[in-house]
């Protein structure tokens, strides 16, 4: 009957159904985390694992959005380093930040599939896939899952605002000795750029992983917990 109040039990049922059928909201960040875009919007985000341009060749589990999440202290350190790099005309570019534990498991499963060699030409042309664990390119746990590690490079921006690529002697996630930070197989310009990147981050407490020129972490936060929260933005 029009205008009549609904019985309380029916109203409760309707509310419950509405809650369960509502679209899922963006996941809350893990405790102590921030979005890098809120702390350092000038850092460009090229989040490779949210797309197909990576060593697996598809979006990785846990990356529902191409967003950089980090522990607050790491984001603040990265922002401070970015300001220093800006004085030399460099803009930082992040490729991976917080990495859900399910993404690490996805990497491990991919590494164990000997038949999947679709990305070999670009990402591991001279390295046997079976040796990726032993050589330290793939691991079963990651500092990224704690939000204290970041994969980052840089590009140069001239006075006119034009972007000029910087030579680092090899691309992100190239599983090869040429990616080792101190590799002698790169050009003098690439070696100088790597040294500048390492020194610039070291001045703010970020430490480089010697086998990946792009990987930096904040060792003082190593005791932080790892998380498996899906990266999902509104």
Distances (CA, A) of 91 to 28, 41, 155: 29, 11, 5
- Hey, what are 191's tokens? 């070696």
Task: Say if residues 102 and 93 touch (Cβ distance below 8 Å).
Answer: no
Pairing, β 44-45 against β 90-96: parallel
Alpha-carbon distance of 24 to 219, in angstroms, equals: 35
73 noted as active-site residue: no
- Hey, what are 47's tokens? 């989040």
Domain boundaries, the chain: 25-221
* pLDDT of amino acid 27: 54
Alpha-carbon distance of 210 to 195, in angstroms, equals: 12
Task: Say if residues 95 and 151 touch (Cβ distance below 8 Å).
Answer: yes
Mean pLDDT by 10 residues, the chain (234 residues): 38 33 54 98 98 98 98 98 96 98 98 97 97 96 98 92 94 98 98 98 98 97 96 94
Residues of 37-56 as b/e, b for ≥16 C-beta within 10 angstroms? eebbeebbbbbbbbeebbbb
* pLDDT of amino acid 23: 33
Q: Per the residue annotation, which of 73, 122, 212, 233 is the catalytic one?
A: 212
- Hey, what are 30's tokens? 């893990």
* pLDDT of amino acid 70: 98
| Count of alpha carbons within 13 angstroms of residue 211, beta-carbon side | 12
Alpha-carbon distance of 200 to 211, in angstroms, equals: 18
Task: Say if residues 185 and 126 touch (Cβ distance below 8 Å).
Answer: no
Domain 25-221 class in CATH: alpha beta
> What pTM did the predictor assign?
0.87
């Amino acid at each position: 009957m029009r205008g009549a109040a609904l019985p309380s039990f029916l109203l409760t049922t309707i509310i419950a159904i509405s809650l369960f059928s509502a679209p899922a909201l963006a996941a809350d960040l893990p405790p102590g985390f921030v979005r890098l875009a809120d702390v350092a919007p000038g850092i460009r985000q090229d989040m490779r694992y949210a797309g197909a341009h990576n060593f697996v060749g598809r979006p990785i589990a846990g990356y529902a959005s191409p967003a950089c999440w980090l522990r607050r202290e790491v984001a603040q350190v990265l922002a401070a380093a970015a300001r220093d790099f800006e004085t030399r005309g460099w803009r930082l570019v992040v490729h991976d930040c917080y990495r859900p534990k399910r993404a690490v498991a996805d990497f491990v499963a991919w590494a164990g599939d000997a038949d999947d060699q679709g990305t070999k030409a670009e990402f591991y042309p001279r390295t046997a896939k079976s040796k990726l664990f032993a050589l330290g390119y793939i691991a079963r746990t990651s500092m990224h899952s704690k939000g204290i590690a970041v994969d980052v490079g840089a590009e140069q921006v001239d006075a006119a605002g034009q972007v000029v690529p910087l030579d680092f002697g090899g691309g992100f996630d190239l599983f090869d000795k040429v990616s080792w930070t101190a590799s002698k197989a790169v050009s003098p310009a690439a070696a100088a750029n790597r040294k500048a990147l390492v020194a610039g981050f070291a001045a703010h407490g970020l430490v480089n992983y010697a086998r990946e020129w792009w990987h930096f972490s904040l060792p003082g936060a190593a005791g932080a917990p790892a998380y498996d929260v899906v990266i999902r933005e509104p």
